[in-house]
Homo-oligomer: A and B are copies of this chain.
Amino acid sequence: MSLLTFLDYAAVLIFALTGSLVASRAQLDLVGFAFLAALTGIGGGTVRDVLLDRNPIFWIEQPTYLALTSAAALLVFFTAHLVESRYRLLLWLDALALGVAVAAGIGVALAVGQPAIIAILMGIVTASMGGLLRDVVCNEVPLVLKQGELYVSAAFAGASAGVLADYLDMPNTIVFGTAIVVTVILRAGSMRFGWRLPIYKNAPPKM
């Protein structure tokens, strides 16, 4: 298995775990867990593949991905009650998945010869669309848009750093490692230490 394939599996698995945790918040049954795990796990990569017109889509070519998301749903269904704070676990897993999915996203785009800006965008799309679908479907406030936290910003920085490393002809391990580390550190720093970019609040709230 190539490193890129491995990253794709890892991102799918971790996002599937976050989807299952959201399912446990919504008190769904096991099939509901599996549905949200699949939507979150393969959502970002599916949007990427549709946009890049990659055929067949990764999980249609290799249905093992669906076995993986179902296993994640099963695991969380029977063990989530052991976790003290499921929402905190959800946030940290989501941060980790974000980094891995950024790496998988730029990896796929670079492998099919896309230019830098598209590769960066595919990193962001792969990393953010699964979680966005999860949150929109479940009526949670999308993490993507949570005020004053680095999320898309972290993915953007990580994707850019990875694409830069690729441009400098670094080996793939460095390219993907850079993307993951930059993304996760920025996201984690935002959650743990409140790192953020200046937000828009110049105007009185009259609108």
Mask of A138-172 contacts with B, CB within 8 angstroms, 1/0: 11011011011010110010000000000000000
Of the stretches A9-17, A19-27, A92-100, the one at the interface is: A19-27
Residues of B within 8 A of A153 (CB): 29, 31-32
The answer to whether A137 touches B132 (Cβ under 8 A) is: yes
The answer to whether A53 touches B55 (Cβ under 8 A) is: yes
The answer to whether B29 touches A198 (Cβ under 8 A) is: yes
Q: Is A118 an interface residue (CB 8 A)?
A: yes
The answer to whether B152 touches A142 (Cβ under 8 A) is: no
Residues of B within 8 A of A144 (CB): 32, 35, 137
Residues of B within 8 A of A66 (CB): 117, 121
Residues of B within 8 A of A81 (CB): 202-203
Question: Shortest distance in angstroms between A90's beta carbon and chain B's nearest beta carbon?
Answer: 8
Nearest B residue to A46, CB-CB: B51
Q: Is A176 an interface residue (CB 8 A)?
A: no
Nearest B residue to A76, CB-CB: B200
Question: Shortest distance in angstroms between A197's beta carbon and chain B's nearest beta carbon?
Answer: 4
Nearest B residue to A66, CB-CB: B117
Residues of B within 8 A of A139 (CB): 141
Given contacts A27-B199, A83-B203, 8 further A-B contacts (CB under 8 A): A27-B201, A31-B153, A32-B199, A53-B56, A81-B203, A85-B207, A87-B207, A138-B145
